[in-house]
Amino acid sequence: MVIYVCDDYGKMSEVAANQFAAHLILKPNSVVGLATGSTPEGMYSELIEKYKKGEISFKNVVSFNLDEYIDLPKENENSYYTFMHEKLFDHVDIKAENINIPDGNVKDFEKYVKEYESKIESVGGIDLQILGIGKNAHIGFNEPDKVFLKKTSVVDLTQSTIDANSRFFDSIDEVPKKAISMGTGSIFKAKNILLLASGKSKAEAINNMINGEIDPQIPASILQLHSNVVLVIDKEAAELLDEDTYIRV
Ligand code: GLP
């Protein structure tokens, strides 16, 4: 695991966008796994700038989003569908047919999650997976549990995640209680993982993920076993780490 620690959110976004861009330059037809949440927003803005300057293109990129709320219409301002279009897709040259975001409004979820998983496999798997991290160390919507979630599934959100995500909704009652999420197993299959974190509220999750036991109660801890993980975090998120374990940029 390579850990880059940046001064602040702006620098974190810039370093993460450089990492992302390097992958697209090396492999323009990359399959990317994308994340939502406040953390990657700055990175997406930086990527849009790089696209506008002609430094990168999404023309041959295929994307798969990690997760989506269940029973929230995709036009809703809080759906991850809306988020991804507003924050990235509407501003770059990605082809609509190459965008995959779990659909939280299908009838047969059992069939749908299997198809989502197979579709990732049919394009050769994910080259670069972007991740944020929840305060309870969840990745995607893989919440702390007795076992690691292997495949894309329908999941119940924990109260801590519902509370954290209620900041985007008018009231906590409007926050969906279920989501579709790629499993920890599906995430782990990605060839490269780029995880971003910013702020003091993520410091404990980051420390547990790196230095804790590998335990499904700390979903991100499984990444200790992955051979290509890059962390780009700011100094507040890194405050519980030993200085000699990271690269200061
Ligand atoms: C949500 C998303 C995760 C994200 C996490 C942290 O629950 N499903 O993919 O990493 O929140 O979000 P934020 O970056 O806003 O702190």
pLDDT of residue 195: 98
The half-sphere exposure of 109 on its side-chain side, counting CA atoms within 13 A, is 17
Strand partners, 202: none
User: Taking the model in full, what pTM does it have?
Assistant: 0.97
Label the pairing between strands 31-34 and 62-65: parallel
Nearest CA to ligand 1 atom 13: 37
Residue with structure tokens 């990690």? 66
pLDDT of residue 37: 94
Write out the catalytic residue numbers.
Answer: 67, 136, 138, 143
pLDDT of residue 77: 95
Determine if residue 54 is left, alpha or beta; phi over 0 gives left, psi from -120 to 50 gives alpha, anything else beta: left
- Is 35 near ligand 1, meaning CB less than 6 Å away? yes
Q: Which residues of the chain have pLDDT under 70?
A: none
d(CA 248, CA 243): 9
Largest CA distance in the chain: 51
Residue 160 burial (C-beta neighbours within 10 Å; 0-12, 13-18, 19+): middle
**H or E element: which one contains 112?**
helix 109-122
How many other CB atoms are there within 10 angstroms of residue 54's CB atom? 7
For 101-140, the pLDDT digits (tens) are 999 999 999 999 999 999 999 999 999 999 999 999 999 9
User: What are the distances in angstroms from CA 99 to CA 64, 83, 90, 104, 230?
Assistant: 6, 13, 11, 15, 24
- Is 141 near ligand 1, meaning CB less than 6 Å away? yes
pLDDT of residue 79: 97
- Is 134 near ligand 1, meaning CB less than 6 Å away? yes
Across the chain, mean pLDDT equals: 97
Note the Cα 240 to chain centre separation in Å.
22
